Amino acid sequence: MDFSLPHSFCFFLLLLLPFSTDGQTYRNITLGSSLTAANDNSSWTSPSGDFAFGFQQIGDDGFLLAIWFNKIPERSIVWSANRNDLVQRGSRVQLTTDGQLVLDDQSGTQIWSTINSGGIAAAYAAMLDTGNFVLASQSAANLWQSFDEPTDTMLPTQTLSQGRELIAPYLEKNYSDGRYMFALQPDGNLSLYTTRYPSTVSNFAYWSTQSSIARNGTVINTVFSIQVSMEDFYQRATLDYDGVFRHYVYPKTAASSSRNGDMAWTTSSFVPSNICTAIQGQVGSGACGYNSVCRLGEDQRPRCECPPGYTFVDPNDLRKGCKTNFVSQDCDQPSQGTDGFELEVMPNANWPFNDYEFFGSVSEDWCRQACLSDCYCAVVIFNPAGQCWKKRIPLSNGMIDPGT
Ligand SMILES: *[C@@H]1O[C@H](CO)[C@@H](O)[C@H](O)[C@H]1NC(C)=O
Ligand SMILES: *[C@@H]1O[C@H](CO)[C@@H](O)[C@H](O)[C@H]1NC(C)=O
Ligand SMILES: *[C@@H]1O[C@H](CO)[C@@H](O)[C@H](O)[C@H]1NC(C)=O
Ligand SMILES: *[C@@H]1O[C@H](CO)[C@@H](O)[C@H](O)[C@H]1NC(C)=O
Ligand SMILES: *[C@@H]1O[C@H](CO)[C@@H](O)[C@H](O)[C@H]1NC(C)=O
């Protein structure tokens, strides 16, 4: 792909509010206007039509009040108000006559509303061509903007201020709060964290920028250092459900697509480079679930797999981990182990944090027998230097990596 054009993709880290809508073209959404969740695709669009605000149906589960790329078939969602609380058909979003944006479910119960800065009532609302939905005062000062309450995605002109964060979705097609967070630390570092799921409290960082860069406001530009033309490509940076923060581009026309007119989101850049090995916490299961292994695919995306003899707890949610599909060794029958069980070989695999015994200067066969005759032993790691580690269940941070 040719990213040599002179426009850079960057976020500025400013603690700036309000920001003026002066100079933007927009259509006013007047007080009293509303949209109802139905299958009619009604929405409030930006002047160019690039972005729309309204309800998106999520399978059979309900509707998300969202902002999405409106000119591309994928309708990719960039923001939502009620990701943990889908609403049903007949729910309504209204710009009330007293100048607030309010989402009510089909029974009229309020699900969400804006909190306008200074408690000032808005005079009108507008969906801007940047992808920002704003509530503005009579003097066109922004009282509330969707850019200040990001969900999992940043757009090219969007800023991230202290105390704001991105939370990954739970799964690719499940927009509920997931297991990863992107935030600006007080020291100016931009970091990716695991969360203490199901809470959204950060656990530990698995990727971070240099603080001096972040303070200077050029950090995302540094992270996604590829230069992409804003005229030729739609762009977004999304913290995906797998914990990888990816910069995506989508050609605006077939002519700007370098892949033979292929019209699709493609990843131009991402961090961390290997999520399977980046997450190294003493608590938590790692990039995949307990007892599983993470392998980076050819497409550079992580794959969760179960070791031989194990199957996924939930095939629709692989990160719930793997369970044994055999009856575990009985500690009352020590002889059973060597007769009734065998060890399967998995090259380049490791679970770095589950050791409970270590032996040096031993043979591979000795290491095997030591595990088979030990009812606590689930895995042994043996290396050519004659080192042998016994490991226990549940196995965490599993990975298959050529460097292991
Ligand atoms: C709504 O949009 C979808 C996807 O673009 C389309 O398949 C469907 O026909 C539209 N429905 C109506 C009522 O326009
Ligand atoms: C939007 O509404 C405000 C307040 O009524 C008005 O001052 C402004 O001129 C309107 N802008 C447009 C583009 O219609
Ligand atoms: C998304 O996943 C969460 C966690 O498993 C679950 O509670 C929720 O019901 C799911 N949402 C949908 C729409 O399937
Ligand atoms: C900020 O990031 C730098 C570089 O990764 C790291 O050395 C430093 O410890 C981080 N600061 C904090 C508070 O995490
Ligand atoms: C901020 O950026 C400028 C220009 O890119 C650079 O010269 C300066 O060293 C940077 N400051 C810090 C604290 O990184």
* Residue 119 DSSP class: G
**CA atoms of 152 and 158, how far apart (whole Å):** 12
How far apart, in whole angstroms, are the C-alpha atoms of residue 272 and residue 244? 6
Q: Are residues 48 and 99 in the same domain?
A: yes
Q: Which atom of ligand 2 is nearest to the CA of 27?
A: 13
* Closest C-alpha to ligand 3, atom 1: 174
Ordered DSSP codes for 48-105 = TSSEEEEEEEETTTEEEEEEEESSSTT--EEEES-TTS-B-TT-EEEE-TTS-EEEE-
Judge if the beta carbon of residue 42 lies within 6 A of ligand 1. Answer: no
Question: Which of 162, 181, 184, 187 most suits a substitution to test ligand 4, by most atoms within 8 Å of the C-beta?
Answer: 187
Q: Is residue 288 part of a domain?
A: no
Calculate how far, in angstroms, residue 81's C-alpha sits from the geometric centre of ligand 2: 25
Residues 39 and 100 grouped into a single domain: yes
How far apart are alpha carbons 390 and 358 in whole angstroms?
Answer: 6
In a domain, 277, yes or no: no
6 and 117 share a domain? no
Task: Kindly give the number of the ligand 4 atom that is closest to the alpha carbon of 210.
Answer: 4
Q: Which ligand is nearest to the CA of 134?
A: 2
**How confident is the model at residue 70, as a pLDDT?**
96
Same domain, 299 and 326: yes
Same domain, 38 and 143: yes
Q: Do 44 and 110 have their domain in common?
A: yes
Strand partners, 104: 92, 110
Kindly report the CATH number assigned to the domain that includes residue 119: 2.90.10.10
Give the pLDDT score at 329.
Answer: 78
* DSSP letter assigned to residue 128: -
69 and 90 part of one domain: yes
- Which phi and psi (to 5°) does residue 332 adopt? -80, -10
Same domain for 163 and 135:
no
Q: Considering Cα of 197, then 200, then 204, then 205, what sign does the dihedral take?
A: positive
Nearest ligand, CA of residue 70? Answer: 1
132 and 167 together in one domain: no
Nearest to 238 by CA among 320, 131, 86: 131
Domain count, the chain: 3
The verdict on residue 282 lying in a domain is: no
Residue 280, domain member (yes or no): no
The whole domain housing 311 covers 293-400
User: Is 185 a pocket residue for ligand 4 (Cβ < 6 Å)?
Assistant: yes
- Determine the pLDDT at residue 218: 37
Indicate the residue among 99, 122, 149 that finishes a domain.
149
Give average pLDDT by consecutive 10-residue segment, the chain, 404 residues. 37 36 60 92 92 94 96 93 96 95 96 88 95 94 93 87 89 95 84 94 89 48 70 92 95 76 87 94 92 95 95 95 86 68 89 92 94 91 93 94 80
CA angle 343-345-351, nearest 5°? 95
CATH number of the domain where residue 250 is located: 2.90.10
User: Which listed ligand is nearest to 188 at the C-alpha?
Assistant: 4
pLDDT tens for 117-147 read 888 899 999 999 999 999 999 998 999 999 9
The pLDDT, as a whole number, for residue 361 is 94
